[in-house]
Structure 1
Amino acid sequence: MPIKTQNDLPAKEILERENIFVMDENRAMHQNIRQLEIAIVNLMPLKEDTELQILRSLSNTPIQVNVTFVATSTHEATHTSLSHLNQFYQTFDDIKNRNFDGLIITGAPVEQLEYEEIDYWDEICQIMEWSKTHVFSTLHLCWGAQAGLYYHYGIPKHMLAKKKFGVYAHKVKNRKIPLVRGFDDVFYAPHSRHTEVRKADIEKVDKLTILAESDEAGVFLIMNDDGRQIFVMGHPEYDRYTLHNEYIRDKKKGLPIDLPVNYYPDDDDTQRPLLQWRSHGNILYSNWLNYYVYQGVPYEFINYNEIYGK
């Protein structure tokens, strides 16, 4: 899929080296097609790494995607340069009068805080409320999934005894639902979190369906009844070394951290980590784009209030 980016986005050069078709603004101007408009609310501290991971995950269908990166205005980023944010990111105020085909809300390293204690919580609530009328389908990742379940359905999160950290096996449920089309019976996905949302709480909400879960890591994939809200409890977009970098970082800080589960060959952190989740991560993003974004929206840019009668 051609991904449309700004000409000088640093991730563009890396994606091109991986033979991923990235179209800059100049070439896109000469394309007479209906591209999908996808906004990405990037809450991760290392924003450039997350940009690359998500763009790579979105690159596996023939659909052309125009990506708009969004950063919160109520939180000052400390791990990404101000020049990068000013050049490549917009704020919610910049986009709130636009409509988007899809929205991605990433994870964030704040799950040990209560939602209301987070400095940008009110802004995230505004974005999630806005998404009901300005976005066709929203993909929530990790903390973004927990936050979305809490905001939309009142489902709480719970602290874990220790960090859920590693690559876990998951089983597919409700195979007939298009979001998991092409999945194997068992697939792997990374997790990196201190909190969880419990299956029993999700099952109390009639509008929600669990599509995949793990005996060790719990619920992984949830969807509401019309596919406009999808919740992913892990990080299928992570690259090979993301968990490794987190592990080394926490060790250097003296934080309590175990080896990532099912990650290093023979549990030897000097060996190259095994990449076991890329194919299913790509399928998940492709199915979301195809069945819940592209197939659902008309060719002309849409008025979501008219479609949903709100």
Structure 2
Amino acid sequence: MPIKIPNNLPARSILEAEGVSVMLEKDAVRQDIRPMRIGLLNLMPNKSKTETQFARLLGASPLQIEMTLVKMSEHVPRNTSADHILSFYRNWEDVREEKFDGFIVTGAPVETLPFEEVTYWGELERIFDWTQTHVHGLMTICWGAQAAVHRFHGMPKYALGKKMFGVYRHRVLDRTSPYLRGFSDDFAIPVSRWTEVRRADIPPQSGMKVLMESDEAGVCLIDDPAHRALHMFNHIEYDSGSLADEYFRDRAANVAVEVPKNYFPGDNPDVPPLNHWRSHAHLLFGNWINQIYQTTPFDVAKIGTVEMAGPNARVIAQAAE
């Protein structure tokens, strides 16, 4: 099945050129099927690139996916045209009465700030709380993941001596996890952050489990069943050239940044990088979507309630008490 996105979204032509099946809105309404509703709270500065990255991964599913682009109601993006935002995004305040099978919160270029000093922190706290009653499966990315475990579990983040920047080897820690079906023994994932969370700060009674880890880059993926969430602290969704774009941007701005590790062939920025993580990105998102599909209520109104079916129902009921 194809992914349903707004008809004129710039990502559409890119995805169609790559062979991703994209459905027109007028065609989707004619199908007698309930699509899976996935919301994308896009906090990244380059909205169009981020939309394409996630639409590409969601669109690889055999299920029909309806992607809704969401923005903070109380924050005006500075790096994307107002026309683009008005044409394709909905304020969270305008969707807060709706239910979503899945919801993604991206990273944001604010990680060196204390959480409480981020201008939209109050609204983001309300969004995280809202996901517990209006979303079946939550996925958070990079700073979004740090923010989520801080909100849900009080975990701090720590400044690094230098930017963790490059493509790092990771390993699977729990082969029984349905989110890691098909993963290799070790695999590469892009990392780009100035801060980290630490395994030692995971509350022992939280039920959280580390699923992926790197000797160099630390914790990568945490399963948080009590909040029906996956927290990905790195950028598995990145394009082949995403780290290069960041490197050349930082260098042009005179930011002290090293050549991303294990990325450019021979560490030569003049040589195009190779993508070593694309297949695992598709695996992770495919497994996540499948797990949501297997457990989400068919009746959208029951999403976020203790009546929902699936292996997490008992945990959800306990958390609601």
TM-score (norm 2): 0.94
Instruction: List alignment gaps of at least 5 residues for structure 1.
Output: none
Distance 1:203 1:234 in 2: 21
Flag the 1:114–1:203 CA change in 2: closer, same or farther, 3 A.
same
Maintained 8 Å contact 2:153/2:203: no
Equivalent position amino acid for 2:301 in 1: I
Q: For the residues of structure 2 that align with 1:279 and 1:202, how far apart are their CA atoms?
A: 29
Q: Which residue of 2 aligns with 1:145?
A: 145
The equivalent of 1:136 in structure 2 is 136
Which residue of structure 2 aligns with residue 70 of structure 1? 70
CA, structure 1 residues 254+58, in 2 after alignment: closer, same or farther (shift >3 Å)? same
**Where do residues 119-130 of structure 1 align in structure 2 (5 Å cutoff)?**
119-130=119-130
Q: 1:85 to 1:157 in 2, by over 3 A?
A: same
Bigger shift: residues 225-234 or 131-140? 225-234
Residues 140/187 of structure 1: CA separation in 2 closer, same or farther (3 Å cut): same
Q: In structure 1, the residue corresponding to 2:295 is in which secondary structure? A: coil
Match of 1:210 in 2: 210
- Tell me which residue corresponds to 1:242: 242
Counterpart of 2:171? 171
- Asked if residue 294 in structure 1 is aligned to residue 293 in structure 2, the reply is yes
Once the two structures are superposed, residues 44-92 of structure 1 have per-residue CA deviations (whole angstroms, 9 ceiling, x without a partner) of 0100000000101112221111011011122221110001000100011
Match of 1:16 in 2: 16
**Overall identity of the aligned pairs, in %:** 44
User: Once superposed, what is the RMSD of the aligned Cα atoms?
Assistant: 1.2
Q: Does 1:59 align with 2:56?
A: no
CA distance in 2, matches of 1:3, 1:144: 24
Cα distance, 1:111 vs structure 2? 0.3
CA contact (8 A) 1:157 1:196 kept: yes
Structure 2 CA distance for aligned equivalents of residues 203 and 210 of structure 1 = 12
Shift of residue 117, structure 1, vs aligned partner: 0.3
Secondary structure at 1:295 match in 2: helix
Alignment partners' CA distance in 1, 2:74 and 2:203: 34
CA–CA distance in 2 between the matches of 1:281 and 1:46?
A: 20
Query: In the alignment, residue 37 of structure 2 is paired with which amino acid?
Result: E
In the other structure, the counterpart of 1:268 is 268
How many equivalent pairs are there?
Answer: 309
Shift of 1:24: 1.3
Structure 1 residues 30-49: aligned runs within 5 Å: 30-49=30-49
Whole-Å separation in 2 of the counterparts to 1:264 and 1:96: 42
Q: What one-letter code is carried by the residue in structure 2 that aligns with 1:92?
A: W
Q: Which residue of 2 aligns with 1:223?
A: 223
1: distance between equivalents of 2:130 and 2:149?
A: 15
Name the CA distance, whole Å, in 2 between partners of 1:206 and 1:89: 34
Match of 2:253 in 1: 253
d(CA) in 2 for partners of 1:131, 1:160? 30
1:200 partner SS: helix
SS in 1 for 2:191: strand
Q: How much has 1:298 moved relative to structure 2?
A: 2.6
Find the residue that maps to 1:111 and give its secondary structure: coil
* TM-score, length basis structure 1: 0.97
- For the 8 Å contact 1:158–1:196, the answer to whether it is kept is yes
Displacement, 1:160?
0.3
Deviation at 1:205, TM superposition (A): 4.6
Q: Distance in 2 between matches of 1:213 and 1:121?
A: 28
Alpha-carbon distance in structure 2 between the residues aligned to 1:127 and 1:280: 28
- Runs of 4+, deviation exceeding 3 Å: 203-206
Residue ranges of structure 2 left out of the alignment (5+ in a row): 308-315
Cα pair 1:153 1:205 within 8 Å, conserved: no
Structure 2 counterpart of 1:106: 106
Q: CA deviation at 1:196?
A: 0.1
Distance in 2, Cα, partners of 1:186 & 1:233 = 17
Verify the 8 A CA contact 2:132 2:227 in the aligned structure 1: no
